[in-house]
Structure 1
Amino acid sequence: MCYFACAIHLKGKPVTAMQFISDLVARGRYCFSTEEATDALGTTAVATRAALRRLRQKDELAMPSRGFYVVVPPEFRNAGCLPAGHFIPALMEHLGEKYYAGLLSAAEYHGAAHQRPQIFQVMVARNKPEITCGKVRVMFVARKNVAQIPTADFKTPRGYLKISTPAATAFDLVGYPNHAAGLDNVATILAELAEHLDGEELIRLAALSPIAWAQRLGYLLELVGAQKKTAKLAKFISEKNPEPTPLTPSRPFEGISQLKPWNILVNTLVEADI
């Protein structure tokens, strides 16, 4: 979906910033760039930014990223911004970057999060600083091969948001447990995600991920009683015959025996809330 079409002109007449925004909303659009507004208003970039700044001061607009604006409807004025899932697709198109909503945010869309995450998590190819838009916070987490990870389109009131598939979400959760409130929470989410997992897709994701992620995922799925989902993954790991890997790399694991078939060193107790 293209969010940045040609600029809007109202029958050749001068357009105010408010008219420009009203016409955008009438067309179902809530995001735009400084360049687009400048073209529509027929003014200089400096004058356009000044006009948009006045609307921001009235809470009509928000600017989650430099040069990128979000129209804030009355129902979201208290939050000071649209929900992240409503503007992230347009923002990432504006930035020209591949993305998908992942980790706890993806788990929520799949119905596997026990509570709404406090921050919206977006996977990108390179690290980016967190952004704040009113009360809305967005964290960017780097995964180099983000463009290869399978996604699904989730319909929002403003368009379509790319989210990781259940299997991709599972791999990201075990790969980035510090961004998922720890392994206990990861295991809890996996218990909910398990019914949506497919053995073949787990293999495809394993080939796109560090082998240690597959080892930890297989162990945790068995831990939460999802053994039926792990047979193909266990075969994949057996064929790779990887080095033993600790369940928690940051904790000591010397002297701990590896657990087959995952070649995992269980150096921490994981308790899922199920």
Structure 2
Amino acid sequence: METFAALTGRLGNAHGIRISLKRLAERGLVTTIHKRPMVYVIVPPEYRAYGAPPFSWWLHDAMQLIEPEYYAGLHSAARYWGSSHYALQADHVMVGSYRAPLTAGRRQVVFTVRSDISSARTVRTRGEKGAYLVSTREGTLLDLMRHRSKVGGLESIARVARDFGPHLTQSELVRALDAMGQVAVAQRIGFLFEELKLDQMATVVEKWLSPRTRTTRLLAEPVPETLTIMTKPRWRVTYSMRDINEIKEAQ
């Protein structure tokens, strides 16, 4: 609102500003995406049918008012880096503390908490109309594995890992592992790299894990009693053939 007031010469006229913005919203020229603080987004003519432009156009500017420590993550980051196998029902943004989803036209922005967000590996990139922060490929994979139950499970993560494989770097993977510092996530992503034949990346994870204490972890959700459980000693990860079949679906 302050920006609108300054641009229209209405500083000090809060009531008039609210009336003007309400009228613009009724005409579909702007849309409200957040109420406290009040944040509006301009809706260009070509996006009137959608109620808002793509979130990459306005994300960074809006988040400076809502939650400055943020980044586009999970499948939204995967899509930015060229891995897009599913029609996303919402855009995914990582933040440092809980926030309710916000609505921008027909789409939602869903927030996922990362308490150590200041250490996350991100890059500032350019969207179609503006810059915003997005996790690196390596950081995206670790976030996906950390939140595997909400991103579509192993098959979904394996598809992204397969697409990212030729572009992953050993140095950035180490930085992402250090930034997250989650041994359990490292164990699971190491297992996945091995199954996908991303041997160099698996070796990087193995070296990162070597001085750290590990306990045996399930690869995925609790396994039904009808399935046989196996353990891969290299990672101290237990799994079933159902898990392996999901990974194979992505190959």
Write out per-residue CA displacement over residues 76-115 of structure 1, whole angstroms, 9 at most, x where no aligned residue. Answer: 1111101111111011111242111011011011112223
Match of 1:234 in 2: 206
SS at match of 1:152: strand
Q: Does 1:273 align with 2:240?
A: no
Change (3 A) 1:88 1:250: farther
Q: Within 5 Å, which residues of 2 pair with 1:1-274?
A: 34-39=1-6, 40-42=9-11, 44-66=13-35, 67-209=38-180, 210-251=182-223, 256-267=229-240, 268-269=242-243, 270-271=246-247, 272-274=249-251
CA distance in structure 2 between the partners assigned to 1:80 and 1:118 by the alignment: 15
CA distance in structure 2 between the partners assigned to 1:196 and 1:220 by the alignment: 16
Write out per-residue CA displacement over residues 111-165 of structure 1, whole angstroms, 9 at most, x where no aligned residue. Answer: 1222342211001111111111111210111011112111122212322111100
SS at match of 1:93: helix
Task: Quote how far apart the aligned CAs of 1:237 are.
Answer: 1.5
CA distance in structure 1 between the partners assigned to 2:151 and 2:221 by the alignment: 16
Task: Quote how far apart the aligned CAs of 1:44 are.
Answer: 2.4
Task: Quote how far apart the aligned CAs of 1:249 are.
Answer: 4.6
Task: Quote how far apart the aligned CAs of 1:204 are.
Answer: 2.2
Match of 1:24 in 2: none
CA distance in structure 2 between the partners assigned to 1:256 and 1:241 by the alignment: 22
CA distance in structure 2 between the partners assigned to 1:140 and 1:233 by the alignment: 28
Contact 2:149 2:221 in 1 (8 A): no
RMSD after superposition: 2.0
Q: What is the aligned residue count?
A: 241
Contact 2:2 2:11 in 1 (8 A): no
Q: Which amino acid aligns with 2:128?
A: P
CA distance in structure 2 between the partners assigned to 1:42 and 1:202 by the alignment: 49
Q: Which amino acid aligns with 2:81?
A: H
Write out per-residue CA displacement over residues 187-209 of structure 1, whole angstroms, 9 at most, x where no aligned residue. Answer: 11111111121222222222232
Task: Quote how far apart the aligned CAs of 1:235 are.
Answer: 1.7
Rg larger in structure? 1
Query: Percentage identity across aligned positions?
Result: 27
Write out per-residue CA displacement over residues 48-74 of structure 1, whole angstroms, 9 at most, x where no aligned residue. Answer: 111101100000001111111111110
SS at match of 1:230: helix
TM normalised by structure 2 equals 0.89
Contact 1:222 1:230 in 2 (8 A): yes
Q: Which has the larger displacement, 174-183 or 264-273?
A: 264-273
Change (3 A) 1:104 1:96: closer
**Structure 1 residues without counterparts, runs of 5 or longer:** 1-33
TM normalised by structure 1 equals 0.82
Task: Quote how far apart the aligned CAs of 1:252 are.
Answer: 6.0
SS at match of 2:210: helix
**Structure 2 residues without counterparts, runs of 5 or longer:** none
